[in-house]
Amino acid sequence: MGFRRSSEKYHLYDHCACDIVNADLEKLSSFDFSLTGIVWRAMKLEEFQAKKLFRKYGIPVPDGIMVTTAEEARSAAEKIGCPVVIKAQVQAGGRGKAGGVKVAGTPAEAYIAANSILGMDIKGFKVERLLVDPAVSIAGEYYVGITIDRSKKLPVIMVSASGGMDIEKVAAETPEKIFFKEINPERGLRSFEAKRLAFRLFQSKKQALSAASIMVQLWECIHGSDASLAEINPLAELKDGSIVALDAKIVLDDSALFRHPVEEGQWLPSPSEEKEYNAKKHGLSYVQLEGEIGCMVNGAGLAMATMDVIKHLGGTPANFLDIGGSSSPEKVIHAMELLVSDSNVKAVFINVFGGITRCDDVARGLVAALKEIQTDLPLVVRLTGTNEEEGIRILSEYGITALKNMTEGAREAIRLARKEGGSR
């Protein structure tokens, strides 16, 4: 059974957790527990990849073709037969509202639509791939999703007759339209449980049984692939009475990817995920946020406390960066490179409480990094603990004054970030 939480990655957010009833499943893939919380990091598949996984488990999906150029989209439309739907492939919702989904009635229109979508920026993701699907006649749209209820430590299936729209909007405005069923992970989703849910959505016995079969297959998919989320929105009833998954969303637990080398090999990371992956290779735990104070800290607990202090004082952390309990100067160099590479960072706050980590090692690494990296970013250092006097001496020789109080350091970093001279 693959429902495990990665213990290596933590994330701080500036808003509180949503109850599972009121949260959309995409957000639950990196669920916010509190102001300072642990997050389950995950690998999101793009739609064409998720549909490939759905096919593996017998879930009916349209026979689409993934393309990367407008000419390939034209050829795909000719092969599939028009009309077709051209969909941007990005790891974000709201593609339709952003103009990333278009219907084409001819291969020529498919070329034009693809050309207009490729290169678009949708919520920070550049569109480099498209999925060309056959257009279908829809009689009804429904929602089916399986995720993990962290509070109960169980998988839960959610279904609704209000599909094809944001599920969090349905939960907020008409929560009575969403039905839940906890799943015993030892037994899985049983056929009679799926049928009870399906008959809440469909009056027709034939369609209800088809939907129930898809629900069971969706459970087998999330269980077999060690996923933390499997979602169909919409699950469509077509004019001919068939039931098809028109969209697909899968989020895999990255702590289980070693058991799924095929899926791991298909990973298409976003730029921030690529940075996180490279950081991990250097022994660093890094998660990029959207703030302006770059943080370098030793230990996950102190890192989260540091970000809490920054938020409390009115600043915004740009990242979570834990250099670990035993840090060599080389790790500090790599950590500094990560911080400088983020264009949102206006000031850097280095907060080290030396236990196993030696303050002099951090100081040497920082001096070496500043000699290699050309940056005018304001820098605030707080050093205390093992070999702190030696660390302070090394920094002072390089012209850096180290503070001993975390709150004082955070306040100074915020002040420097807000100065006009701190802009980049």
Residues recognised as catalytic: 143, 231
Nearest to residue 266, comparing CAs of 47, 88, 94?
47
244 CB neighbour count, 10 Å cutoff = 19
Q: Are 119 and 97 in contact (CB under 8 A)?
A: no
Contact between residue 255 and residue 264 where contact means Cβ atoms under 8 Å apart: no
- CB within 8 A of 322, min separation 6: which ones? 10, 284, 285, 286, 297, 298, 299, 300, 303
CA-to-CA distance for 132 and 70, rounded, in angstroms? 11
First-residue to last-residue Cα distance in the chain: 47
Instruction: Give 71's DSSP letter.
Output: H
- Cα Rg, the chain, nearest whole Å: 25
3-class secondary structure, 83? coil
Q: What is the DSSP letter of 46?
A: P
- CA gap 365, 334 in Å, rounded: 9
Distance CA(393)–CA(184), nearest Å, equals: 59
